[in-house]
Amino acid sequence: MAKILANRLHHTAYVTKDLEKTRAFYEDLLGFQLAATYCEKDELFGKERTYCHCFFEMKDGSALAFFQFADDEDQALFGPSMPDSPFHHIAVHVDAEDQAELERRIEAAGIQPPETYTLEHGYCRSVYVKDPNGMTVEFTCDDPKALDPALDARRRADAHAELKRWLGGQHHNNNPFRAEANH
């Protein structure tokens, strides 16, 4: 197996139509610190482009980043709509206390389903909310039982075999935290 060379997520980047609405959502509502704002003009993809790039930091130093372009044509070119699927999302880890606080803030902001919802995956509990760009952000809190080193070792050891099983057409559930697992 190849050595893992990546240390952690530095940032993941998206294009927004409105940096101020995005800033208010991530910084004021969710508590991500606006750590950097770079206003730039670069030769990109055969044309000089002017844009603003903001980084919203998480506790580990990684960030969600958003671009907004000054030119409407550049904005249209690089800022396609977010996919309208809950499976296209970014998930960040939180502890139980912070997850509860985020739920309180989301509710206090008046955000209602379907823009927010909760799922119990068994190995984790997830709170989902759509940002002003239509991107789904998931706040995941691991179930303490899922952090058992023996279970983690087994999941890692079985990962390739389980993928091969799935790709071979055997689609039964293998989540030991769900009642229907292995049936």
pLDDT in tens, 160-182: 899 999 999 999 888 888 765 54
Distance CA 121, CA 70 (A): 41
Confidence at residue 176, expressed as pLDDT on a 0 to 100 scale: 86
Please say if the pLDDT value at position 5 is more than 90.
Answer: no
pLDDT tops 80 at residue 83: no
The answer to whether residues 103 and 140 belong to one domain is: yes
Number of domains in the chain: 3
Tell me the percentage of the chain whose pLDDT exceeds 70: 97
Tens of pLDDT, residue by residue over 20-50, are 999 999 999 999 999 999 999 999 999 999 9
Claim to verify: residue 155 and residue 176 sit in the same structural domain? yes
Write down the pLDDT at residue 179. 65
Q: What is the mean pLDDT of residues 136-163?
A: 92
User: DSSP secondary structure string, 62-131?
Assistant: -EEEEEEESSHHHHHHH-PPPPS-TTSEEEEE--HHHHHHHHHHHHHTT--TTSEEEEE-SSEEEEEEE-
Q: Is there a single domain that holds both residue 119 and residue 87?
A: yes
If asked whether residues 118 and 90 sit together in one domain, one would say yes
Q: Residue 170: which domain range?
A: 148-183
Measured in whole angstroms, the distance separating CA 76 from the mean position of its chain's CA atoms is 23
User: Which backbone phi and psi does 44 adopt, to 5 degrees?
Assistant: -130, 125
* Angle formed at CA 35 by CA 39 and CA 66, multiple of 5 degrees: 55
Q: Check which CATH number belongs to the domain holding 129 and give it.
A: 3.10.180.10
Based on the domain organization, do 167 and 134 belong to the same domain? no
Look over the chain and give the mean of its residue pLDDT values, rounded to a whole number: 91
